[in-house]
Amino acid sequence: MAVWTLGINHTTAPLDLRGRFAFAMDQVAPHLQGLRQSLNRMPEAAIVSTCNRTEIYCAGEQSELEPTLGWLANSAGISPDALRSHTYSLQDGLAARHAFRVASGLDSMVLGEPQILGQLKDAVRAANAAGALGTTLSQLFQRSFAVAKEVRTSTEIGAHSISMAAAAVRLAGNLFEDLGDVKVLFVGAGEMIELCATHFAAKNPKSIAIANRTLERGEKLASRFGGEVMRLADLPDRLHEFDAVVSCTASTLPIIGLGAVERALKKRRHRPIFMVDLAVPRDIEIEVKALDDVYLYTVDDLSGVVQTAQASRQAAVEQAEAIVDAGVQSFMHWVDQRSNVPLIQQLNAQADAWRTNELARAHKLLAKGESVDVVLEALSKGLTQKMLHGAMAELHAGDAAARDRATSAIEHFFLRSKR
């Protein structure tokens, strides 16, 4: 069984290219079906899609990296050659190592961040619901979760990490003298916005507002922070009211355009606006970044902030990598053993057949009135003869080479106590 992964992430592809490969969770099932049908023999498959990465994990009889690349490129309407230089492809042990490192936060923009583990679990649940998971990928991901748990409980990998949310607050603090005078707008109501709102709320801003497509979810989040909720459609008319805007939605197109920001700046008499776009694809048009009174940061722009304190975490990284290494060795040993499953099944079936036959014979002897001792003697001899028949036949074979092989095998399997 071969295992392979193909992907792009924040180190191999720019933000706009990553945005073209963002798979919404409710579209994962049909995409998985299309992927599997495009490959030979419908391999196991899972798709992991976050703001920083899109990865395909597969398991099948033979690795099919090139067709997998072709499918991924086609999903965004670009050529495989154009995509190839932005991807990484890994097989077997290296693919397992990558999955374990991703789950543990070792491959993240924010070293040791825990959010990726939840996103990975969501991807696995989606693949399982789509019927795309099998024994091999299930083992790979379950072991990756176990490795991630050990890394987080046994090392200090996440002790000093700076999350995207904390980085956004830090940058806002660099722009505004007092965050207590700042009005903050959050666009969206997902997990990342909830995290950002929690960090900003800790600084006691002047006000918090949540703009979301569905008011019910927005109200639920706004109530936690004593904020107001507004419809997404009202955002252009009210954008000028806010000093800081943090956006992260699943929209496939920008929802805050250049014109809306220009009108907001005019109403604000060009007082600066701090903006953070954590969405992939972008929520805020890229042209906004060129405006003089706008300080716009994307997930890629935050990378310099979140990579601080690397040196203090080096020892923890080394410990985590050792845990990953052990997990990879264990998984690959399991994969190797899987190749013997058919033989083990055949051996068990043969042993069961012998046992069934001898039990039937024993019942007949008991029915005829034979003593228990006689029946047990016959049962034990019958099983022993069946077990040793093949070995004895090989020892009496006319071929000397066959006899030598049989001798070695018999000594190995039957005479271990005498070695």
Contact 5, 59 (CB under 8 A): no
Which residue in 51, 58, 196, 248 is the catalytic one?
Answer: 51
Neighbours of 166 (CB within 10 A): 19
Map residue 254 onto helix, strand or coil. coil
Neighbour-count burial for 385-418, b at 16+ CB within 10 Å, e otherwise: ebeeeeeeebeeeeeeeeeeebeeeeeeeeeeee
State residue 109 phi and psi, 5-degree precision: -60, -40
* Nearest Cα residue to 277 out of 265, 263, 287: 287
Distance from CA of residue 181 to its chain's centroid?
A: 40
Cα–Cα distances (Å) from 351 to 263, 338, 345, 355, in that order, read: 81, 20, 10, 6
User: Residue 362 is encoded by which pair of tokens?
Assistant: 């024993």
Known active-site residue 58:
no
* Helix (H), strand (E) at residue 152: helix 135-154
Cα–Cα distances (Å) from 64 to 13, 280, 390, in that order, read: 22, 28, 41
Question: What is the distance between the alpha carbons of residues 229 and 208, in angstroms, rounded to a whole number?
Answer: 9
Catalytic residue numbers read 51
